[in-house]
Amino acid sequence: MTEEATAIRDRLVRWTEAVASGDRQGILTGHADDLLMFDFPDTVRGLEAYDRTWAFFDDSRRGPVTFAPRDIQVMAGDDVGFATCEIHCDGTTAGSFDLRLTVCLKKREGDWVVIHEHHSVPTTDERLIGPDAQR
Amino acid sequence: MTEEATAIRDRLVRWTEAVASGDRQGILTGHADDLLMFDFPDTVRGLEAYDRTWAFFDDSRRGPVTFAPRDIQVMAGDDVGFATCEIHCDGTTAGSFDLRLTVCLKKREGDWVVIHEHHSVPTTDERLIGPDAQR
């Protein structure tokens, strides 16, 4: 793994640790003011709106929260990179569930900054589920 | 928009046109053998599995299909790039719906290749919907 890819991977892991521990400032660290997030229900634009989604998450905590990434893959160029992983979440009012995460970054002033996140859970909408769906 | 960003945008637009017209080869063009797709229901690995998801889509056509991207944003480095958009789909058995798309690319042998796609629809799972959800 290149030095840049390691930096992106480390940033992602630290972010998941911040989510688990409820460190709101740590969650926001390294996120662009103009970020675009495709969240579970809605599209979220800008850091302020992004912060509010974590207020909702924090309100849903029932005790210690698990937010554990697996299968992290990173691709880093000189100044654009991205990472993918699946995350197991437990300990909120939502119960146990898995989400898929894509994070896209740009290097600004020498530091990797998240400018896009895409969070999703597998849909249960029967109209959209093909025969290969593992369910 | 830089030359590289324009190339990525053009690739994305051509892909949506291939989806709309049912041009399966056009859908697969420029996709890596080892691509990772976070699809609506499942995680899909590899071009063969990716192709099968489009067989399901093609089987669902009821006539002319709309697959119209909007709000395309592109970020391109020298050899890593990504694009985001929302897509309106209509004309299949699923009816009218909107999806969110993130596409991540790597330049291989001088050509942009898709190595990751993340497709999702807003979840309707009440456990995961915050107070800011626009519904």
pTM across the whole model: 0.94
pLDDT above 90: residue B42: no
Look at strands B31-38 and B111-120 and give their pairing: parallel
pLDDT of B131 reads 56
SS3 A132: coil
Q: Do A41 and B129 touch (CB under 8 A)?
A: yes
A75 in contact with chain B, both atoms CB, cutoff 8 A? yes
Residue A97 lies in a domain: yes
Among positive and negative, which fits the CA dihedral A14, A18, A19, A25? negative
C-alpha to C-alpha distance for A116 and B64, rounded to whole angstroms: 32
Q: List, as ranges, residues 28-47 from B with C-beta within 8 Å of A.
A: 36, 38, 40-44
| pLDDT, greater one: B83 or B122 | B83
Domains held by chain A: number: 1
Confidence of residue B95 (pLDDT cuts 50, 70, 90): very high
Instruction: Establish if A24 belongs to a structural domain.
Output: yes
Give the tens place of pLDDT for each residue, A74-103. Answer: 999 999 999 999 999 999 999 999 999 999
Cα separation of A49 and B133, whole Å? Answer: 11
Is A128 part of a structural domain of the chain? no
Q: How confident is the model at residue A132 (pLDDT cuts 50, 70, 90)?
A: low
ipTM, interface predicted TM-score of the complex: 0.93
Asked if A132 lies within 8 A of B49 by C-beta distance, the reply is: yes
Least confident window among A96-110, A118-132, B67-81: A118-132
For position B107, which CATH number holds? 3.10.450.50
Q: Would you call B123 and A120 a contact, using CB atoms and an 8 Å cutoff?
A: yes
| pLDDT > 80? residue B43 | yes
Query: B65 vs chain A: nearest CA distance in angstroms?
Result: 15
Q: Which of B41, B79, B127 sits opposite A123 (nearest CB)?
A: B41
Taking residues B59-70, report their average pLDDT: 96
| Number of helices (H), then strands (E), in chain A | 3, 6
pLDDT at A122: 85
Q: CA-to-CA distance for A103 and A72, rounded, in angstroms?
A: 11
Structural domain contains residue B130: no
Domain assignment of residue A92, yes or no: yes
pLDDT of residue B130: 63
Given CB atoms, is A80 within the 8 Å cutoff of chain B?
A: yes
| Structural domain harbouring A42 | 3-119
Q: For chain B, what is the mean pLDDT?
A: 93
CB pairs under 8 A between A and B: 156
B133 falls within a domain: no
A103/A118 Cα distance (integer angstroms): 7
- Give A40-71 pLDDT, tens digit per residue: 888 999 999 999 999 999 999 999 999 999 99
For the segment B106-117, the average pLDDT, to the nearest whole number, is 96
Residue B134 included in any domain: no
Contact call for residues B21 and B13 (beta carbons, < 8 A):
no
Which positions in chain A touch B5 (Cβ < 8 Å)?
none
Q: Is residue A129 domain-resident?
A: no
Cα distance from N-terminal residue to C-terminal residue, chain A: 34
Among the partner-chain residues A75, A121, A124, the one whose CB lies closest to the CB of B104 is: A75
Alpha carbon of A114 to those of A25, A32, A73, B121: distances in Å?
A: 14, 6, 16, 22
Is the pLDDT at B37 greater than 80? The verdict is yes
How far is B81 from chain A, CA to nearest CA, in Å?
A: 6
Among chain A residues, CA nearest to B80:
A77
Residue with tokens 């979440």: A89
Report the candidate in A81, A80, A116 with the shortest Cα–Cα distance to residue A101: A116
Tokens of A131: 């025969």
